[in-house]
Structure 1
């Protein structure tokens, strides 16, 4: 299995993918505050690379997050999804304002979109990418080491609490990632 060790390698991998760059440039047109494409779309790209896959593994959705304390209405998220569908209609857009997502996770209010990312269940999922004036930026609160090595572990928020850890374990069972990426090392403690 290949590895991916640095953020620069990750940026190069993404920059070489026309589809991903289209996704990022489409999201950039919305000009949302503290906005990132995150989670599965990036994780799957990296895992496909690690496993030397020629074809992109299908994804359930394209997670777009932003942070806006001034407008917490779920309707705003739906409007942004609608705008993205108009720009790129064949993509499974999912937009969430991290200023309200702490309620679903039972945590303290997030301070930023990156703080929201740090509360995602798995470390390799806790990653964001954005295009800002043609420059790729990475948000990786726990670094990219585990993602780039094909190792799955819970984030601290999911590791520190047994109820949250049960959610992590349930996600691992539901996602069945090992069926698409056979060389992953999934840690269940």
Structure 2
């Protein structure tokens, strides 16, 4: 996979992710919600790849499906909660926990949850850039014409090669190590790289 040309990697990603029919339904239904700058992101994507690569069922070990959007015109909890409730209704019949979050609001609660300050994001992409592992920095959405838009600032090689690489731009070391250990319990084939000294 790592030696495929980039366009072939994108095709392989779509083929592999399409094995997870729940993920496909969430992509389609999220597109209909018309959330600004949205992406389906995080574990549901790279864990689907790990499952297919290792011969597991496509949804094995996936805790939830994260939908990020960006709306800095209204930073109130009420506006985000309205999007969450709309999504809850849209996904109610699916066998999945879908979490919708406005990334324009992350700086308002991040420090209380993780112990470090988070500068305000200026897009969903900047939020994805700050994940604890570069392997996790992946987002997919359906465009109006049905094409897949893929955001993968660190490429796809680590995702397909089962490598967990730290991304020390925001999340603390403990967050990275906790996530990596949980993932290794589900996917013991993973190669977890150490946090830089």
Output the TM-score relative to the length of structure 1: 0.86
Which of residues 162, 165, 168 is equivalent to 2:173?
Answer: 165
Q: Distance in 1 between matches of 2:33 and 2:123?
A: 18
Q: What's the offset of the Cα at 1:16?
A: 4.5
Q: What's the offset of the Cα at 1:4?
A: 9.2
Q: What's the offset of the Cα at 1:55?
A: 5.1
Structure 2: gaps (5+ residues)? 112-116
Q: Distance in 1 between matches of 2:126 and 2:10?
A: 19
- Over aligned residues, Cα RMSD in angstroms? 2.1
Q: What's the offset of the Cα at 1:29?
A: 0.9
Q: Decide whether aligned partners of structure 1 residues 93 and 4 sit closer, same or farther in structure 2, where only a CA change above 3 A counts.
A: farther
Moved over 3 A (4+): 2-5
Q: Decide whether aligned partners of structure 1 residues 55 and 35 sit closer, same or farther in structure 2, where only a CA change above 3 A counts.
A: closer
Which of residues 6, 13, 16 is equivalent to 1:13?
Answer: 16
Q: What's the offset of the Cα at 1:43?
A: 1.4
Which of residues 20, 30, 34 is equivalent to 2:33?
Answer: 30
| Cα distance per residue 1:27-79 (max 9 Å; x no partner) | 11111111001001101101101111135214222111011110112222222
Comparing both chains, which one has the higher relative contact order based on Cα–Cα distances under 8 Å and sequence gaps of 6 or more? 1
Q: Distance in 1 between matches of 2:57 and 2:71?
A: 38
| Cα distance per residue 1:146-177 (max 9 Å; x no partner) | 1111000111415xxxx82233223333xx21
Give the structure 2 partner of residue 101 of structure 1: 106
Q: What's the offset of the Cα at 1:185?
A: 0.2
Structure 1: gaps (5+ residues)? none
After superposition, residues 4-83 of structure 1 pair within 5 angstroms as 6-54=9-57, 56-83=59-86
Q: Distance in 2 between matches of 1:132 and 1:32?
A: 12
Give the number of equivalent residue pairs.
182
Output the TM-score relative to the length of structure 2: 0.83
Q: What's the offset of the Cα at 1:93?
A: 1.7
